[in-house]
Amino acid sequence: GWLDLVGVASQVLFFKSALDKLGLEADFVRMGKYKSAIEPLTQDTMSEPSRQAISELLEDFDTDLVSRVAKGRKLSEEKVRALIDEGPFDADRALELGLIDAVAFDDAAKQKFRDATKTKVIRKVPLRPEDEKVTLGRILEALTGGGKPQEPSGAHLAVVNVVGEIVDSEDTVPNQAASGPFVRHVRKLAYDDDVKAIVVRIDSPGGSALASDRMWHALHYAGKRKPIVVSIGDMAASGGYYIASAGKEVFAEPTSIVGSIGVFGGKISAANLADKVGVHVETIRRGKNAAWSSAASNFSDSERAVIQRMLERTYDRFVSRVSLSRGISREQVLSVAEGRVLTATRGERAGLVTKLGGFQAALDAARKLGGLDDDAPLAPWPSELGLLDALAGGDRDEAMLRAVLGERGAE
């Protein structure tokens, strides 16, 4: 094997020239100079605000990586930085440098685990064919030796997951966070007297502004009746942070990505492509902006003005929601807005994050705020999360399973 300890890097591909050759044009309006998601389609090089934001992220990622390796391997940070510049490493070289403890096959590692934990059996969670989805319920069933997990009776903690792109839909959408089911469930939790607090676990890059606002409102309303604690996984950006801001307390790992408070909208115009291939478009309309979404033309001046106005209002609402929920001034929000992405380390300093910590820290805080015992049970939703969704991000796998199963998770 080999150890891929090489530092952190980011590469962005830009497609404007390629689109030009195809006769396609990205016609977008954005609110926020750091809102760079559209830049690969509208530019051939990285803007300075985007370069600044990415550089700050990498700086924080690098600092965290070096600190963790230095602490874990009992090396100086200077030594770790020097080793990173030497990587990647084959197994023998990694052992020589003290980056690993042994070169061995997995059976030796399992025996080491048995010896350390004084257990005889390591129970595996089986991976199943793609047509038979592995869900959180099945994971818990496998770990407990059979029987689906039951909804807790009496006082308990609710855990609501927001995983994937946020979409405005009344129905459940695979691998996405749909607003309708979320809003209905949160409203139900708000009026359930047995639910003493709600933890919202978010791992999302954002999505629909309308859906995000609906989900924020549901949490804001529920927060008037019981504590809402947010735990951010790898990312709560744009609409993901919109929702996260509703928490009474917001927890995130130091390198979780937060912020991206900004909006954009637009379309890919194929007008030049149509000319190139000899396609002619005629439009008959009743209403000045009736064809605004057509891919056969760029935005007219009046269409662009309408979109600009809509985005300005959406952006203003976003900033206002964050200001209200986080209890900070609009000026403070605007100082880190305009689409800027931050690590949670910087987000904490800016007031976007309450505390640095993982899922277990959020559970502990919610139990305390809800007046629950340390071992009070939890009820996760949705229970039919895919395996990777259910166990992804920070320390959620360990904390979630320990909270549900007690100490039986590592038999």
Q: Do residues 176 and 164 lie in contact, with contact meaning Cβ atoms separated by under 8 Å?
A: yes
Residue 186 has pLDDT above 50, yes or no: yes
Average model confidence (pLDDT) across the chain: 87
Neighbours of 94 (CB within 10 A): 20
> Tens digit of pLDDT for each residue in 211-247?
999 999 999 999 999 999 999 999 999 999 999 999 9
Report the amino acid identity of residue 356. L
pLDDT tens track for 13-59: 999 999 999 999 999 999 999 999 999 999 999 999 999 999 999 99
Distance CA 71, CA 58 (A): 20
pLDDT at site 375: 87
User: Is residue 300's pLDDT more than 50?
Assistant: yes
Question: Which of 163-172, 356-365, 398-407 bottoms out in mean pLDDT, i.e. has the lowest?
Answer: 398-407
Contact 276, 230 (CB under 8 A): no
With cut-offs at 50, 70 and 90, classify the pLDDT of residue 170: very high
Smallest CA-to-CA distance from 226 within 364, 363, 359, 366 is with: 366
What pLDDT does residue 13 have? 95
Assign 197 to helix, strand or coil: strand
Confidence of residue 150 (pLDDT cuts 50, 70, 90): low
Q: What is the pLDDT of residue 120?
A: 80
Rounded CA gap, 27 and 269, in Å? 7
- Residue 143 binned pLDDT confidence (cut-offs 50, 70, 90): very low
Greater model confidence, 21 or 151: 21
Tokens at 305, concatenated: 């003005």
Domains and CATH numbers, the chain: 2-117 (no CATH), 136-260+340-410 (3.90.226.10)
Q: What is the dihedral of CA 203, 209, 212, 214, to 10 degrees?
A: -170
State pLDDT tens for residues 109-130: 889 988 888 888 777 655 444 4
The model's pLDDT over 82-111, given as tens digits with 9 standing for 90+, comes to 999 999 999 999 999 999 999 999 889 889
pLDDT band at 187 (very low <50, low <70, confident <90, very high): very high
Dihedral of CA 375/222/331/329: which sign?
negative
Flag whether pLDDT at 151 surpasses 90.
no
Nearest-angstrom CA–CA distance, 24 and 282: 18
Residue 146 has pLDDT above 90, yes or no: no
* pLDDT at 11 exceeding the cut of 90: yes
pLDDT digits (tens, 9 = 90+) for 256-272: 999 999 999 999 999 99
Could you tell me what percent of the chain has a pLDDT over 90? Answer: 73
pLDDT at 177 over 80: yes
pLDDT for res 126 = 52
Question: Quick one: angle between helices 396-405 and 359-369, nearest 10?
Answer: 50
